[in-house]
Amino acid sequence: MNVVYWLLLELSTRILPVLGIFVPKIRHFLDQRTGLFSTLTEFRTTHPGPLTWFHVASLGEYEQAKPVIAALKAKEPQTWIAVSFFSPSGYEPASKKPQPGVDLITYLPLDRKAWAERFVEILQPTRSIFVKYDLWHHHLQALKRNHIPTYLIAASFRPDQSYFSWYGSFFCRMLLQMDWIFTQNEASIQLLASLKITNAIHSGDTRFDRVAGTAAQPMDFPAIRNWIKGRPTVVIGSAWEEDMRLLIPLIQSKSDYLWIIAPHALDSLAMDRWASALGVPTQKYSQWKEGQDPQILLIDNIGMLSSLYQFAHFAYVGGGFGKGLHNILEPLGFGIPVIFGNPRSASKFPEAAQSQVEGCGFAVTDYAELQEWVDKLTQAGFYAISVASAKRWVKANLGAADRILAHLTTLIPTK
């Protein structure tokens, strides 16, 4: 398997530049890594001393890292924090504005052995922390050769993952490189035990810490608050086309509600198409002026959604009918009940199933079920119970970041 992996990487690094001539996304992926090592060298020249490196795949994993970053920076203010991304969809929005507690945001180079070794050699982290699942063989090997403690946080394992398959020994070895693994749930501990991996602890899901922090100090939008004026409002987060097919007739049937829609992708044509299909007063946030009173506000930017749930009577979170359900914990952090499309791969989103058990999340498969749950959430008694359930569940799951940090700082002293 090592030879196959090496061969695939060698072929990829030769083929991708050719494909990039014809595929803009691939060209962008490669162009963004140009000069990466020079940027790292310049940073470490001007920022010597202890450094903790976090690696995340994209924005979702970064959200899970944020509570740990904040807690670590508070405890070790002298430690530099570097965060690497693999995906442009995570790197680009994060790099466009200062990130609290983070001193460097960078891409991760492709996992060629020489590049991985150079990355680690330049960065010289005191400790390295991978978030959830984005593990890379040669980077882990480089960390091990340099005796750098390496951890996996917010891990969530399923029986159908490669680690537990007949061909999983190569992937399992990456888990064995970890000095400690912090899991989101107890089931993951049991799966690790089946691989004879015991250096693990169930620390919980850091997303609960993150959403509670956002709810305690949300961004303020006085213009939106003045527009709402206490009227019932629904926030639709990360909407896909599949979601809007159900939501458009619902919105048309609820003329007494205001609607805030944040699409998954900032596709102006899709937003225009939705506005035309809805046939009710609709305004894009970037073009909206105070005094205008649309029924629907389309959020055509990135960064507002997690705080917009403060205005919701209830929320709908998209993605369940498509590639994957988005973060339903964000509205629940505000004590807001949430409706979502029933995920195709339910095991990948255990929080969806648990929210239904708790009585604050409601999965739908068609318009009839959507209408049924909306009708129930307009009933004062049912709504109050759902709100109380959301608050209770979030509160019961706080503290994962502190548990991880307490363990981390006893495992390795700062250099």
Residue-wise pLDDT tens digits, 330-361: 999 999 999 999 998 877 899 999 999 999 99
pLDDT of residue 321 exceeding 90 = yes
* Same-domain pairing of 143 and 98: yes
Residue type, 367: Y
Q: What residues are paired with 182 via a beta bridge?
A: 201
Domain range enclosing 334: 218-396
Q: What is the average per-residue pLDDT within 185-208? A: 95
Residue-wise pLDDT tens digits, 213-233: 999 999 999 999 999 999 999
Closest by Cα among 33, 148, 149 to 84: 33
* Same-domain pairing of 123 and 246: no
Mean pLDDT computed over every residue of the chain = 92
For position 322, which CATH number holds?
3.40.50.2000
CB-based contacts of 375, cutoff 8 Å, min separation 6? none
* Same-domain pairing of 148 and 62: yes
pLDDT band at 75 (very low <50, low <70, confident <90, very high): very high
* Same-domain pairing of 407 and 391: no
The distance from CA 197 to its chain's CA centroid, rounded to whole angstroms, is 26
Query: Over pLDDT 70: what percentage of the chain?
Result: 98
The structure tokens listed for 203 are 């620390």
Residue-wise pLDDT tens digits, 101-117: 999 999 999 999 999 99
How many helices and strands (H and E) does the chain possess? 19, 14
* Same-domain pairing of 168 and 232: no
Residue-wise pLDDT tens digits, 270-299: 999 999 999 999 999 999 998 899 999 999
- Number of separate domains in the chain: 2
Query: Over pLDDT 90: what percentage of the chain?
Result: 79
Give the Å distances, CA to CA, from 234 to 175, 278, 325, 365, 393: 42, 15, 18, 19, 21
- 84 contacts 54 by C-beta, under 8 angstroms: yes
Q: Which residue has the higher pLDDT, 238 or 6?
A: 238
pLDDT of residue 18 exceeding 80 = no
* Same-domain pairing of 291 and 362: yes
Coil, helix or strand at residue 61: helix
Cα–Cα distance, 231 to 104 (Å, whole number): 42
Q: Which residue has the higher pLDDT, 84 or 24?
A: 84
pLDDT band at 412 (very low <50, low <70, confident <90, very high): low
Give the Å distances, CA to CA, from 137 to 15, 75, 324: 20, 30, 26
Question: For residue 252, is it within any domain?
Answer: yes
pLDDT band at 29 (very low <50, low <70, confident <90, very high): confident
Biggest CA–CA distance in the chain, Å, is 65
* Same-domain pairing of 379 and 407: no
Question: For residue 324, is it within any domain?
Answer: yes
Cα–Cα distance, 409 to 16 (Å, whole number): 41
Q: Which residue has the higher pLDDT, 330 or 407?
A: 330
Judge residue 22's burial from the number of C-beta atoms within 10 Å of its C-beta, 0-12 exposed, 13-18 middle, 19 or more buried.
Answer: exposed
* Same-domain pairing of 299 and 385: yes
Q: What is the average per-residue pLDDT within 52-69? A: 95
pLDDT of residue 1: 62
Question: For residue 1, is it within any domain?
Answer: no
* Same-domain pairing of 368 and 406: no
Question: For residue 10, is it within any domain?
Answer: no
pLDDT of residue 130: 98
Q: What is the average per-residue pLDDT within 385-402? A: 97
* Same-domain pairing of 199 and 227: no
* Same-domain pairing of 235 and 345: yes
pLDDT of residue 237 exceeding 70 = yes
Question: For residue 25, is it within any domain?
Answer: no
- 313 contacts 260 by C-beta, under 8 angstroms: no
Question: For residue 15, is it within any domain?
Answer: no
Q: For 73-196, list the strands marked E by DSSP.
A: 80-85, 104-107, 127-131, 150-155, 180-183
CB-based contacts of 186, cutoff 8 Å, min separation 6? 202
pLDDT of residue 26: 79
Question: For residue 354, is it within any domain?
Answer: yes
Q: What is the average per-residue pLDDT within 292-321? A: 95
User: DSSP characters for 207-231?
Assistant: HHHHHHHHHHSPPP-HHHHHHHTT-
Residue-wise pLDDT tens digits, 117-141: 999 999 999 999 999 989 999 999 9
* Same-domain pairing of 70 and 182: yes
For position 403, which CATH number holds?
3.40.50.11720
Question: For residue 376, is it within any domain?
Answer: yes
Judge residue 369's burial from the number of C-beta atoms within 10 Å of its C-beta, 0-12 exposed, 13-18 middle, 19 or more buried.
Answer: middle
Angle between helices 380-396 and 367-377 (to 10 degrees): 90
- 277 contacts 249 by C-beta, under 8 angstroms: no
- Residue-wise burial string across 157-167, b where 16 or more C-beta atoms lie within 10 A, e elsewhere: beeeeebbeee
User: DSSP characters for 47-59?
Assistant: S-S-EEEEEESSH
Q: In this predicted structure, which of 6-20, 21-35, 281-295 has the lowest mean pLDDT?
A: 6-20
